[in-house]
Structure 1
């Protein structure tokens, strides 16, 4: 594993990464370096993890073997300009910014920089993230393994071809928002049928969690698992008919596609 990891930006994703790394035991807090433009925010995270806080983005890069660029895409150009002079050939630069390709990142860094592009998602904050990684040609195999291990410390992570990152953005990057809407809709219906809202949210969220775990743990096709719930002439198949008539599948597919297309044009 990288001897030192710097996290540049300690918002939701930066925090999730830091907490995941330390809680999993993948690294010790003293191996973690943090920087945020609002130092107090970085310090609060450091107090929880045992990390150190530095006074500038450049100092973070200098003190880190791997640097996780956990800033928004519109902030990234200014950050890369600031740290350009201190990006050395032995550093591994890991970007989680949506829409920024390996080539665009390479154009803003010194020639020969080792670059990793990652598309994580917000469930990383509770240790259930899903991330996709791709690498430029100068990242060594051991560095690839270490980069994947970082994101597996708070969920699942897979290496993909860069051409699939837009699809990943639409599916797992934006997907949590779609699931939250589904949970909210299920709960609203529960309230309509007489449940108190806190109970309805618990029933809806646990149902989604349990169904997702069934897919992952059994390896069964989701269609088969759906069929297993649908008794002949029963309540569930009647409800499935309503979902199909309402264009449920098409709406979900179109939402993923819309997000993926937007990511291509960022």
Structure 2
């Protein structure tokens, strides 16, 4: 899997971006594009049947509409940010106004590139991406795959844009279901771990607010150590485990409870479910 950090291009000045669907991910991506200076707020347009969603995204200074065709007509890059079961309907609706200038970026879980290409005019440029909810705090983990007609420059462009909301990698589409199982669903695993660690702190006498803050910061710090040190997580774990100390006693309990096996099973289950959704 190639890292987007090796591919950088300058986003064209006055590039226009559209979102069909103005939910939380569209809002997060818009905020990242704007705050990074890559895309001007007035060059972004979003559509959504839910007026409340349009109200939220309008607070970023972007334009809104109820007309999906208008989004396509006004945008160079169009992000498909609707629920997977609505993708076919939306693409059939906008297909008549799609031109060769348009690039479609889909964040719809489980919807394969081939299906999107079939619903749009021949040779439409399509890229599929799996981001995750930490995009809301510009800490996403995103992986994208190129469609049959996407150009090399399209991938560079998307990589640079997605880097404004976190880290971004390019991979084969066949990997995206596993990406969904790991990083797409992964925030939920991390939230459950933080909650459980905080519960443990409360059980042992810590105030709830302090326990939760310590648990969350510990998870954040550990993640940064993995990313910034380049060391294997097992090596970093060993560095915390002193002989006959507190941490190795805790790790023994986690091993007996099947902690690592449960996480592996969770990623597997989410991956298999993603495959089902896309079949």
Q: What interval of TM-score do these two structures reach, taking the shorter chain for normalisation?
A: over 0.9
Pick the aligned partner of 1:10 from 22, 30, 33: 22
Q: What are the equivalent positions in structure 2 for 1:10-29 lying under 5 Å apart? A: 10-29=22-41
Alignment partners' CA distance in 2, 1:258 and 1:136:
26
TM-score (norm. length: structure 1):
0.97
Show the counterpart of 1:176: 187
Show the counterpart of 2:157: 146
Pick the aligned partner of 1:35 from 47, 50, 54: 47
SS where residue 18 of structure 2 aligns?
A: strand
Show the counterpart of 2:70: 59
Shift of 1:82: 1.1
Q: Deviations over 1:56-101 (max 9, x none)?
A: 0001000001100111101111111211111112210110000011
Alignment partners' CA distance in 1, 2:40 and 2:100:
25
Alignment partners' CA distance in 2, 1:39 and 1:250:
44
Shift of 1:41: 2.8
Alignment partners' CA distance in 2, 1:86 and 1:39:
24
Alignment partners' CA distance in 2, 1:44 and 1:205:
27
Show the counterpart of 1:211: 222
Unaligned segments of structure 1, at least 5 residues: none
Show the counterpart of 1:98: 109
SS where residue 109 of structure 2 aligns?
A: coil
Shift of 1:50: 2.3
Show the counterpart of 2:275: 264
Alignment partners' CA distance in 2, 1:238 and 1:75:
50
RMSD: 1.1
Shift of 1:40: 4.8
Q: Deviations over 1:136-187 (max 9, x none)?
A: 1321122111111121111001000111101100110000000000001001
Show the counterpart of 1:109: 120
Pick the aligned partner of 2:258 from 244, 247, 255: 247
Q: Which runs of 4+ in 1 moved over 6 A?
A: none
Pick the aligned partner of 2:213 from 184, 194, 202: 202
Alignment partners' CA distance in 2, 1:178 and 1:44:
27
Alignment partners' CA distance in 1, 2:66 and 2:108:
22
Alignment partners' CA distance in 2, 1:77 and 1:198:
45
Higher normalized contact order (CA 8 Å, seq sep 6+, divided by chain length)? 2
Show the counterpart of 1:188: 199
Shift of 1:8: 1.2
Pick the aligned partner of 2:171 from 160, 169, 172: 160
Correspondence 1:134 to 2:114: no
SS where residue 265 of structure 1 aligns?
A: helix
Alignment partners' CA distance in 2, 1:189 and 1:55:
48
How many residues are aligned here?
Answer: 265
Unaligned segments of structure 2, at least 5 residues: 1-10
Alignment partners' CA distance in 1, 2:256 and 2:52:
52
